Every structure is written in C-alpha cells, then in structure tokens.
Amino acid sequence: MTGSDMTAAWARLEGLEHSPLAELFERDPERVAKLSQRIEFDVPGNGTNGLLLDWSKTHLDDALLDAFEDLAHAAGFASAREALFGGGIVNPTEGRPATHGAMRGSGTDADVEEGEALLARMGMLVEAIHQGALGDIKHLIHIGIGGSALGPDLAVDALTRDLELVDVHVVSNIDGLALEQAFSACDPATTLIAVASKTFTTTETMTNAESALKWLSDNGVVDPSGRVVALTANPERAVEWGVDETRILPFPESVGGRYSLWSSIGFPVALAVGMDDFRAMLAGAKAVDDHFRETEGRANGPLLAAFADQYYTRLRGCQTRAVFAYDERLALLPDYLQQLEMESNGKRVTADGTPVDRPTAPITWGGVGTDAQHAVFQLLHQGTQLVPVDFIASIAPGDALDPAHHKALLANCFAQGAALMAGGNMSKDGKDPARAFPGDRPSATILVDDLDAAMLGALIAFHEHRTFANAALMGINPFDQFGVELGKKMAKDIDSGEGQFDPSTTALMATAGLA
C-alpha cells in the first residue's frame, strides 16, 4: 500500500494488451455472466426488486481485472472503504469523516443513531404538514443549489409521476427568472418555502430566500417566516436569519453537500411522496451499501464500474463519459451525476497534496433515450472520440400506455449498445466510408426490475460508491471542493465593485454597468 506499489500496478496495467470487444466475447462464452452482477433487495410488502449491472460490453478482461484488483490493493481500497463506513477521516483536507451512509443506516452505531433521530424529527414535521399544522399547504418552493438542489430535484421528478402530495418546485439559480417561474405556479396563501443550505450562507440561496419571503409578504401572508423550513448543518445561522427552531431540520456537518439527499435535504422528497417512500429510498441505498461493503474485487458492482472508468480515463485517454437513461423519470440523473462525479473527483492533486500523474474525473454528460439518439448519438457512433456510455433502463414501464411504447424504448436502448459494439457498414456495397461504423465502442447497461423509490435510492448509492471507488483508486479526496471557491470570491468582488481585475473583465463590467 505505497505510492510505489501503485506506480507498479499502473505500469502493469499499461503493459497489458487491449482486445477488441468482439474478440473478448468470442474468447469467453461466460463473459456476460462474469461481467454482470445482480444486486437484489426486499421491498416490504412487494417482493423483491433488483438491478442488473452488465459491464460485459467494456474492454475489461481477466488480465485487466487481475491488474485492477492489484491496483485496488495497492491503493488501499479496502481500508478506505472501512474508513468510510467506520467514521474515519476520509476527507483529510477538511479533517472530517463522510457520514452520508449513516443517514440511511450504514455507519458507526453513534452516527446511525443520530441519523435515525434526525429522520424521525423530519418525519414528524412532514406528517404534521400533511395534517395541516402549518395551514393548507399545497405547494413547496425548495430553494437550494448544487447538492442542496440536484438530489431533491431528481428524486421529486422521478417519484412523483403518479402522485404528488405537495407540488414541489426546486429553485437554484440566482437568475430571478427561475424564482419568478416558481411564483407563477404557486399560490402564496398555500405555499411553504424550504431554504436548503448546508452552510446557510450561499449567496444564490440566501438571495432567493429573501425574495421568496418578500413575495409571501407582498401577497398578504402575515407571518412569512412562519412559512419557512430550514434544512441545514448550520442551525444557529438559520435561527439568526429568522427561522423558528421547530422548523429547522439539521443534518451533520460530516454529510457532504452532494451526498446530502439522504439527510433533511431530502425534505421536499418526503413531503411530495410521503415518509414511507422516502424511507424506501433510504432502504434501497442501504442495500447497495451492504453490497459495496461486503463484496470483494470484481464482484463488487461499484468497484467493477470504477475499474472500467479508470481503464477508459487513464489508459485509453477518454475525456468524457456519457449516461443515457431510457426512462423519462431519470431525465435529471445526468445533471445529478455531473456534480457527484465532477465535484468529487475533478481534482489535480492526491489526498496528500501530490500532483496527479494521470487524468482524474472525466467530464460526465448525457441525456435521455430515445431523444439523445436523434441528437448526439451520431458522434458516439462515428465521431473521432471514444466515449464510454452507460445505459439505464427499467424492465417495468413507468407509463400506462400501450406496452408497445415500453417495448420499443427497451429495444432502442439495447440496440444502441449492440450497435456501438458491432459496427459495420450501412451502404449497399459495404464500402462507403460515410456509412461506416468503426464499432468496438464500449457501453455498460444498468437494467432495473422496477424504478420505484427503493430503486432510485439504490441507483444513486451505486453511483456514490462508484465515485468513491474511483477516488480510492486514484488516491484523491472525493469529499472536498475547493475548486469552486475562487470563482465565488471573484463574483463577490465584482458584485461589490471592489478589487482589481484583468482588462477584459474590467471592460465587461463597465459595459454592463457593474463598475
């Protein structure tokens, strides 16, 4: 477990041959089974649910997998994982553990107990609101940004296609248009405001929160502060800002912003879908935690995915990875994953401050199928970049229309992975270069039985652990995000007109009347 062990493991990986996908399948009839895993869990009162992770259409083979397992050993993956769940300082630059797992039951006894108590507190407030304790609440404007918005937005969008107990609008941008749009969809007399901010200092969130209070008061709400719920790791600040303690839902400082959906930041989800479904989401995530904690080597789904990520980014030079959900309910998943992966692993030094010698996180991007097929898939099939792709689909449909819709959706999903790998030539004589597909392009498929609340939790936890596993293999700290600070400071300086700026920025400020 030393830097030189890691250097040796990378040297070994670099020395291995890369076989084309078609050859890998020909060589090993057991390939699909070997590179697929199923994670299954019980759904109370509803049998089992499961997700199939098929990584067989990636270039990983036995030799690469052996070498990646050696890398994991050299990188101290098992002890990093132990530290994650055991409350160790896995965020050394901020001197903190990362206890988001404890919010769903995976962590030290003390952290899990704290998580349960906080969840119970949130549950009581959610039930009370549903029962009318704060009046007739029909709408919630959830104000937060980054990790305080992306998770709730994804989960509310995914889980409220059939039923929404309270109509939720997530507003993050400081562009007033975003808040105005939420105002126009809500009745101030029946609207609650959630101010979601770990720090309770973020400019966008606090500016939007002030404007939301003004909107309530301008529209006849006598006690606007009485309509505010604060979701924060800084309750003192929320009290100072004017929120009554009974409506502050705290969460621990050791829960990182982009990992905070499981904490009180998930309040809008619980309000929209009810506590039972919120708890089911936590249970699905816990099932993946258990798999991640208890499974070794390539049989560990998130670790296997990280092996493929490392292979494409660090050995094949892929600068991006794409995610396409063949499910409208996951339309916001790529946005969510962008923060999770790029804010966690978009780093240039290792955890001890040493500059990295290979690329770290690729750029995550994506969209929904089949829409993306008619927009960006041209580049995936025939462009010059190699882009590893993830496909995500559900066997059970989310819609109640003619089953032909869902059958065609799945057919398209499977066809894309098959076509990327197979390649070929679509011209009559098979020779037209414009109609030629190189093939041998990698993809992975996540096929879930049914995309319910538990499965959403499982999917998100899978990606959290994949991100963590990638960080461990690279020796970087996935839990800090200092890269966002310089821009924040400069925005404040420009806004206040203080400081010296480069000539271009100074000219832009003058042109826009900011100087």
The question of whether 407 is a catalytic residue gets the answer no
The question of whether 236 is a catalytic residue gets the answer no
In the bound complex, what is the minimum distance in angstroms from residue 50's beta carbon to ligand F6P?
Answer: 31
Binding test (CB under 6 A) with ligand F6P, winner from 31, 59, 104, 198: 198
Q: Is 497 left (phi over 0), alpha (psi -120 to 50) or beta?
A: left
199 binds ligand F6P (CB under 6 A): yes
- Give which of 284, 330, 366 is closest to 158, Cα–Cα: 330
| Peptide bond before residue 370 is cis, with ω within 30 degrees of 0 | yes
In DSSP notation, 331-355 reads TTHHHHHIIIIIIHH--SB-TTSPB
Helices of type H across 131-201: 150-159, 176-185
Q: Is 368 helix (H, G, I), strand (E, B) or coil?
A: strand
In DSSP notation, 482-507 reads GGGHHHHHHHHHHHHT-S---HHHHH
In the bound complex, what is the minimum distance in angstroms from residue 319's beta carbon to ligand F6P?
Answer: 23
Q: Is the C-alpha dihedral spanning 60, 26, 20, 371 positive or negative? A: negative
202 binds ligand F6P (CB under 6 A): yes
197 binds ligand F6P (CB under 6 A): yes
In the bound complex, what is the minimum distance in angstroms from residue 248's beta carbon to ligand F6P?
Answer: 14
Instruction: Please name the residue that has the structure tokens 């057919």.
Output: 411
Q: Is 111 helix (H, G, I), strand (E, B) or coil?
A: helix
Distance CA 124, CA 293 (A): 31
Catalytic residue from among 17, 30, 294, 374:
374
Distance CA 82, CA 62 (A): 26
148 binds ligand F6P (CB under 6 A): yes
Q: What is the number of other CB atoms lying within 10 angstroms of the CB of residue 260?
A: 26
481 binds ligand F6P (CB under 6 A): yes
Nearest to ligand F6P of 300, 481 (CB atom): 481
CB 115 within 8 A of CB 104: yes
Q: What are phi and psi of 280, to 5 degrees?
A: -65, -40
In the bound complex, what is the minimum distance in angstroms from residue 267's beta carbon to ligand F6P?
Answer: 13
In the bound complex, what is the minimum distance in angstroms from residue 202's beta carbon to ligand F6P?
Answer: 3
In the bound complex, what is the minimum distance in angstroms from residue 103's beta carbon to ligand F6P?
Answer: 15
Nearest to ligand F6P of 145, 409 (CB atom): 145
The question of whether 488 is a catalytic residue gets the answer yes
205 binds ligand F6P (CB under 6 A): yes
Binding test (CB under 6 A) with ligand F6P, winner from 76, 87, 105, 146: 146
In the bound complex, what is the minimum distance in angstroms from residue 175's beta carbon to ligand F6P?
Answer: 16
HSE-up (13 A, CA, CB side) for residue 214 = 8
338 binds ligand F6P (CB under 6 A): no
Stretch that binds ligand F6P, among 102-110, 145-153, 395-403, 456-464 (CB under 6 A): 145-153
Contacts with ligand F6P by CB under 6 A: the residue count is 14
CB 232 within 8 A of CB 243: no
Stretch that binds ligand F6P, among 109-117, 123-131, 139-147, 209-217 (CB under 6 A): 139-147
Binding mask 240-259 for ligand F6P (x = CB under 6 A): -----------------xx-
Q: Contact residues for ligand F6P (CB under 6 A)?
A: 145-148, 197-199, 202, 205, 257-258, 343, 481, 484
Residues labelled catalytic: 343, 374, 488
